[in-house]
Chain A
Amino acid sequence: MRFILPLAGLAALAVMPMWLSEYGLGLMIGLVTYVTLASAWALFSGHTRYISLATAAFYGTGAYVVAVLNEVLPYPLVLLSAAGVGLAMALVVGLSTLRLAGIYFVIFTFGLAELVRQLITWYEVNVTGTLGRYIFLDVTARGIYWQMLALGAATIALTAWVHRSRLGLALRVVGDDEVVAAHSGIPLARTKLVAFALSATILTVAGAIASPRYVYVEPAIVFNPTVSFLTVIMALLGGANRLWGPVLGAAPLFLVFEYLSVHFPDTYPIFLGLLFIAVVFLLPDGVLAGIEKLRARRREARS
């Protein structure tokens, strides 16, 4: 049962484009993208409670790698290079901050998207002289959808496996108490680094897969801080330390976000910010934990 339901869901999602309109398909791509981003984010930040604010940095890097390499290399190699660049970036960030207290990691990731954006802009203006690139790839919207769906499913499967593995246990102890973790012989820095690198690589590949949708790519477009913001709020709403939490948070919030950005194009950041604050205050552990707490209270009331 534990495998049948998700697999059936995946199959249903995979055949969905047969009936969808162009708009519906675009919506589904966005939805699956955010499910992937939120799940990948939670893979590292869910248990450790090391808040990464750099989703846009990795996502944008992935998109930019495709923009630079799409005419030089065959598509699978482009994706592979994107993964490589994302991994390298994660190692730089992780090796310099994850040996220290969590706050340094948060600060570093907070400015990372802006830093990468400025560096690329500087490089493009001064060295190559072309700010803004086009992506002409022979990938259809359906192709993107299936690739993203596969990546999302792989992310959730990976998360499920990590939760059961030694790595997952170690991450949970690190999140609860680092001193205890260190005393029980968990290699702190290595554990955090492995999980962060995994998460960041997936984020980068997600950006690479989604990039043909943009057609025109420039740093200001792909390094959009809203991506980091939405990813965090989605994972938190569902419950970042649950397997299905990010999915549960991403689906409704993405639709809300779509609705707000269409109907209130100027004021939606305010609504989203307020929503975010509300989630932090009212559901600090996510909807799933909230429901469980409610159930437990009812059971107590009955007995």
Chain B
Amino acid sequence: MIMTTLILGLVLGGTYALLALGLTLQYGIARIMNLAYGELTLAAAFVLVALFSGLGLSPLAAIVLIAPAGYGVGWLLYTVMMRPLVRRSGASGRLEVDSILATFGLLFVVQGVLLVIFGANLTSISYLDRGVSVLGVSVALNRLIAFGICVVVGGGLALAMTRTRWGLTMRAVALTPGSAPLVGIDVNRVARQGFALGTALAATGGASIAMYQTFSATDGVIFTMKALIIVIMGGVGNVTGALIAGLALGLVETFVATAIDPGLTLAATFAIFLVVLLWRPQGLFGRG
């Protein structure tokens, strides 16, 4: 029983961690608080379902297409929508409020489009839905594949952020966007890359959710909320922190769903959020 919860929790947590990674890139590096994040995730999930049931494309092949498409969408969103807000706010603190409002509008646009195209019904696909024994626990193969994707992408990103020069630039902008230009960093370009990469991660996360979970066009807020809380738990802009916090949230949620009630998972998320706010608002792994 405990083993089942542990393994299913870790598998779910992998997806959450991936989603949170994208959000922490967008907020930490591009300074855009993206409330439409969950809607972008869902859009990718719907695209995967459409590619799978419409064209018969294997979900793994579809993800290879969806991730770069997500990057493109993010790049476009940043250039068209966010960049003017960044320019307008200059050094003042307006960007946070403006980006919250703009993406709040975007949330309704994307949700509206999804509702019109795909309808309000619960959607799911059946793909590799057979059990595989992991340490004596039967886990659906599709969940394992989704987890594998999260480990590869998330782990790769964490390595790139901490070990490469590109990652160093990213972290410099996340730490002090004001001083980064002094050492020759093009903050605008890095911010655009961060935002686009974040959207690509949202798309990858959404596509892997579609492989094993039922979802509907109105679930976006829940995904955004969970990703946001993981980001705060891990510390804004902290990739490793987001990975650990994501896995932790997946565990807690699976535990609450099996031991108490599946209807209370958001309540569990909020409970964690409250504890973090009251105890360590700078994040469990943040400094200061």
Contacts and interface: CB of A to CB of B under 8 A. Distances in A.
Interface of A: 49, 51, 53, 96-97, 100, 102-104, 106-108, 110-111, 114-115, 118-119, 121-122, 125-126, 225, 229, 232-233, 236, 266-270, 272-277, 280-281, 284
Interface string B173-217: 000000000000000000000000000000000000000000000
B105 A276 contact: yes
Interface string B202-246: 000000000000000000011011001100100000000000000
A51 B99 CA distance: 11
Contacts of A274: 105, 109
B25 interface: no
A122 B261 contact: yes
Scoring A97, A100, A118, A272 by chain B CB atoms within 10 A of each residue's CB, the highest score goes to: A118
Contacts of B229: 107
B132 interface: no
Contacts of A121: 263
B278 interface: yes
B61 interface: no
Chain B contact patch, size range? 35 or more
Interface stretch (B65-73, B122-130, B148-156, B266-274): B266-274
Nearest to A233: B105
Interface string B107-121: 111111101100000
Contact of A97 (B81, B221, B277): B277
B96 A103 contact: yes
Nearest to A105: B277
Given A96-B278, A115-B266, A122-B263, 18 more contacts: A51-B100, A104-B232, A106-B33, A106-B100, A111-B228, A125-B263, A269-B108, A269-B109, A270-B113, A270-B116, A273-B106, A273-B109, A273-B111, A275-B105, A276-B108, A277-B106, A284-B88, A284-B98
Nearest to A100: B281
Contacts of B222: 111, 114
10 contacts: A49-B97, A96-B278, A115-B270, A229-B108, A267-B116, A270-B108, A270-B109, A272-B108, A273-B110, A273-B112
Instruction: Select the residue from B33, B85, B270 with max chain A CB neighbours within 10 A.
Output: B270
Contact of B105 (A100, A119, A277): A277
Contacts of B264: 118-119, 122
Contacts of A272: 108, 112
- Chain A facing B: main interface SS: helix
B173 to A, nearest CB: 18
A118 B222 CA distance: 11
A97 to B, nearest CB: 6
A110 B266 CA distance: 12
B251 interface: no
A110 B267 contact: no
Contact of A96 (B88, B104, B225, B274): B274
Q: Which of B104, B229, B269 has the most CB of A within 10 A?
A: B104
Contacts of B224: 110
Interface string B59-101: 0000000000000000000000100110010000000111011
Nearest to B109: A273
A278 B263 CA distance: 37
B228 A277 contact: no
A22 B281 CA distance: 52
A126 B102 CA distance: 39
Contact of A118 (B97, B100, B263): B263
A273 to B, nearest CB: 3
Contacts of B269: 111
A125 to B, nearest CB: 7
Contacts of A102: 96-97
A110 B34 CA distance: 12
B35 interface: yes
Contacts of A111: 221-222, 225, 228, 266, 269-270
Contact of A277 (B96, B109, B113, B263): B109
Nearest to B35: A110
Contacts of B273: 107-108
Contacts of A103: 33, 96
Nearest to A270: B112
Contacts of A119: 264, 267
Q: Which of B105, B264, B269 has the most CB of A within 10 A?
A: B105
Given A97-B277, A103-B33, A273-B107, A280 B112 contact: no
Contact of A281 (B102, B116, B221, B266): B102
A280 B102 contact: yes
Interface string B252-288: 0000000001011011011001100110010000000
